[in-house]
Amino acid sequence: MRWRNWRYWRSWPGAVSTSWRASLHFRTVTISVLLSGAAILVVGVYMSASIGNDLFQSRLSQVLLDSNRATNTAQGILDASDAVDRVQVQALLGSARTSITAASSSRLIAVLRVPNQESSTVAPQDSSTFGDSGGVVSNELRRSVQASSDEQFWQSVTLTDDTGTSIPGIVVGSQMTVPVAGTYELYIGYSLQDAESTLLFVQQTLGFAGLALVLLIGGVSWVIVRFVVTPIRVAAETSEKLASGDLEVRIPEKGQDVIATLARSFNGMADSLQSQIQKLADLSEVQQRFVSDVSHELRTPLTTIRLAGDVLYDQRASFPPATGRTAELLHTQVERFEVLLSDLLEISRYDAGSVELESEPTNLVHLAEDAIDGLRALAESKGTDLRLVAPGGYLNADVDPRRIRRILHNLVGNAIEHGDGKPVVISVDSNADSVAIAVRDYGMGMSQSEVAHVFDRFWRADPSRKRTIGGTGLGLSIAREDATVHGGWLQVWSTPGHGACFRLTLPRLAGATLTVSPIPLPPVDATEALGELGPNHGMTEDTHA
């Protein structure tokens, strides 16, 4: 139980820190309370000090007045006496002390003979009623009293009452002359306990009033800030809903104040955004329909052209050389036109969101082997060695074989095209949740700016390079869409002079979420390049394709 309580209290700083960062309401009220508390504390300390000083000065004036009256009364009694012997002088001094007590209302009286006077047999001994407070009369005060016969001197001291409790006080010293006996120092002690009690009561009152005021300010701040923060919170929630696609949501408009003006401006902005988004959506739909319709409409004349072209192509040997070459070019461009139409139709399906997967358990090693076999003739013409590396653990994955085969055909074909006749390594590996295929070439590579655009439609790293497989510029865009529709990643790493590596990672089960790929990217054999450029150099920023 103690450990749980300790953990509970330890979690408080984190909770307060989180509230401070996340809640404008909490932050504003806290700042208001802290600043108000600091201001009240300063004012309270100032008032307490002022009241305490005023109480002390008032009590000091009263004490000096009472002491002066008591001293004069006692001196009058002494001056009117005709005492000549020790007993009479002693009785006279006792009567003077009694009058001092009555005039000053103080029982703390000390009568001390001024030193360095002629010795006298009738001079009474020093007397004091200070008791445990006898040491409060300091030497500095005595020297001041001894140096002046017609002035009063005072000193703040700490007295001890009958219970032994220390209380604040004042000792007032002056001189008086005793007939026959000489000059004596008179010290009267006054307690400031009543003033201290009054000051303590005032301080407690100020403390409770300050605390109540801080709480009141906190409550008022909470209510006021709530009126201001609540519309802001509503605006934030509304903007989040707008960002998530709920274009119909609006902020309620109430009143004519600045908050209502903000709501109207926000709603006007939302209406404008909704209108623009709707226009863009309509335009996009028109464009998608246009591409799809044009692609479909072009198929019929293209089929006719293809048939006519095939006839000419088959008979090209009987034509003059120039005509035969023209028939070959026509055949090649018609084939490329067919591929372009197919790619445009596929892109239009993705844009329209009408793609449906035909998933089945498939071994990706077999798909990789099919892609290698299909492109082996091209690789041999380029002098490229195709290598398949499958270390094991590759189980079946729920994928659409046609689309994955299309991805691999595109990646391996691009690697052959840009590999400069160097080997191309196709790696297949898996873990418990995913299967990955990496296509690694050692050609000229791509710069970081080229890597950022590698999946853009109709983009080519080197437009002047002659292609032998008739690319349309849509292959990698379609490959990325194919990977995304499977819930997978298609990522690329490349650096100039060190080749490139495309990695396809797919979940083993349809609908599963990927967390890590079984094949590292950058590839392990790129260590030297990474030592100079850093581990993420050349990778696409959006790694989740």
Give the separation between CA 460 and CA 474, rounded to whole angstroms: 10
Give the separation between CA 163 and CA 255, rounded to whole angstroms: 70
Instruction: Flag whether pLDDT at 538 surpasses 70.
Output: no
Pairing of strands 424-430, 386-389: parallel
CB 332 within 8 A of CB 462: no
pLDDT at 17: 75
Q: Where are the alpha helices (DSSP H) in 315-375?
A: 321-352, 364-374
Give the separation between CA 176 and CA 71, rounded to whole angstroms: 7
Lowest mean pLDDT among 142-146, 469-473, 519-523: 469-473
Closest listed residue to residue 541, CA positions, set 459, 476, 455: 455
Instruction: Flag whether pLDDT at 4 surpasses 60.
Output: no
Instruction: Flag whether pLDDT at 374 surpasses 50.
Output: yes
Q: Is 105 helix (H, G, I), strand (E, B) or coil?
A: coil
User: Residue 391 belongs to what H/E stretch?
Assistant: none
pLDDT at 528: 56
370 token code pair? 């099919």
What CATH number labels 360-461+471-527?
A: 3.30.565.10
* Percent of the chain scoring above 70 in pLDDT: 84
Q: For the chain, give the number of residues.
A: 545
Cα-to-chain-centroid distance, residue 14: 12
Pairing of strands 360-362, 386-389: unpaired
What is the per-residue pLDDT across 82-137, written as a single tens digit (0 to 9) for each?
877 888 888 888 888 889 888 888 888 888 888 888 887 788 888 888 876 667 88
pLDDT at 477: 80
The domain made up of 26-198 is a member of CATH 2.40.50.140:
no
pLDDT at 534: 46
Give the separation between CA 479 and CA 411, rounded to whole angstroms: 9
CB 423 within 8 A of CB 442: yes
What DSSP letter does each residue of 437-451 carry, written as one string?
EEEEE-SS---HHHH
pLDDT at 154: 92
CB 274 within 8 A of CB 300: no
CB 176 within 8 A of CB 186: yes
pLDDT at 287: 66
Residues 6+ apart with CB under 8 A from 373: none
Range with the largest mean pLDDT of 288-302, 315-329, 477-491 = 477-491
Name the pLDDT band for 341 (thresholds 50, 70, 90). Answer: low
Instruction: Flag whether pLDDT at 545 surpasses 70.
Output: no
Angle CA 480–486–492, to nearest 5? 35
How many CB atoms within 10 Å of residue 129? 15
User: Residue 112 belongs to what H/E stretch?
Assistant: strand 108-113
Domain boundaries, the chain: 26-198, 250-355, 360-461+471-527
Give the burial class of 57: count Cβ atoms within 10 A of its Cβ; 0-12 exposed, 13-18 middle, 19 or more buried. exposed
Q: What is the pTM of this model?
A: 0.49
431 token code pair? 């873990």
Lowest mean pLDDT among 45-54, 120-129, 420-429, 533-542: 533-542
Q: Is 358 helix (H, G, I), strand (E, B) or coil?
A: coil
pLDDT at 65: 92
Lowest mean pLDDT among 133-137, 207-211, 225-229, 325-329: 133-137
pLDDT at 153: 92
Give the separation between CA 459 and CA 451, rounded to whole angstroms: 11
Give the separation between CA 499 and CA 425, rounded to whole angstroms: 11
The domain made up of 250-355 is a member of CATH 1.10.287.130:
yes
